[in-house]
Amino acid sequence: MRTPRIHILTPITGADAYDPSQFAEMVGSSAQVSCSAIARGPASIENAADEVMAGPEILRSCLALAADGVDAIVIDCFGDPGVAAARELLSIPVVGPGQSSLHRAATLADRFGVVTILDSVLPLIRDMGLRAGLSGRLCSVRALGIPVLALEGEHFMQALREQALAAVRDDGAEALILGCTGMFGVSERLSAYLSGETGNYIPVVDPISSAVLDAVTLARLGLSHSKRTSIDPPARTRESILAIR
């Protein structure tokens, strides 16, 4: 079987793309991972307006990646910007970390929560839970009050620990999701902290890791989104996207 090519597309301009080596241990020999960021768009995505601004470049990039022969694309943002539209344009899998991690958490616990960046994102995440059919199990959505480009250092980790513990103790969450892909790399530390504080193992789902592994699985199984759901748009739509500057 040919090794599938998985591409991680970062839909902001204010941060560098991942280094593929960050996913080498995770995917092993099951896939080849490549990474890039959009050339134009918002510095970060922290509200619905940012998502709309990122959309045209996400779609142009996805069309180019598919033409280059990648087997699956992961959009590197918890809000899954452009995922539904890209699925209409493409036949290869397009995976969103938000949807992936919500469904992942639902396999791990009856009730789960999300700890995200800012209050402006809370309505978007609640809506994601509703659209995923999981709003009855999404018992907690909390914000750190820290923007995407400041998710680093002890200040960030302290705020994350406080809100995550409150989600478990006060809101009844039995598993947690990191509500921003900019929190990549802290899930194991947070799980260990929560497990120590509560005396029970509390799984913490890293959204970009979940999405990458979903993309690998879909590519290796030869599966993609239904074209009765993500219906191909007319040719003029594709032409218009490519013409936007």
Chain segment 116-130, per-residue pLDDT in tens: 999 999 999 999 999
> According to the model, what pLDDT value does residue 243 have?
86
CA angle at residue 104 from 176 to 27, to 5 degrees? Answer: 110
pTM for the whole structure = 0.96
C-alpha dihedral over 45, 210, 99, 198, to 10 degrees? Answer: -90
User: Which amino acid is residue 117, in one-letter code?
Assistant: I
Radius of gyration of the chain (CA): 18
Task: Express each pLDDT in 51-84 by its tens digit.
Answer: 999 999 999 999 999 999 999 999 999 999 999 9
Protein fold of 98-207: Rossmann fold (3.40.50)
> According to the model, what pLDDT value does residue 11 have?
98
> According to the model, what pLDDT value does residue 28 have?
95
pLDDT along the chain (245 residues), means of 10: 95 93 94 97 96 97 98 98 98 99 99 98 97 97 97 97 99 99 98 98 99 98 98 93 82
What the block records as the tokens of 78 is 């918890």
User: Is residue 230 a contact partner of residue 87, using CB atoms and an 8 Å limit?
Assistant: yes
User: Is residue 114 a contact partner of residue 141, using CB atoms and an 8 Å limit?
Assistant: yes
DSSP tally for the chain: helices H, then strands E: 9, 8
> According to the model, what pLDDT value does residue 14 have?
87
CATH topology agreement for domains 5-96+208-243 and 98-207: yes
* Closest to 118 in 3D by CA, of 20, 22, 205, 50: 50
Kindly provide the residue ranges of all beta strands, DSSP E only, lying in 161-201, ordered along the sequence.
175-178
> According to the model, what pLDDT value does residue 61 have?
97
Class of CATH domain 5-96+208-243: alpha beta
What residue segments make up the domains of the chain, in order of their start? 5-96+208-243, 98-207
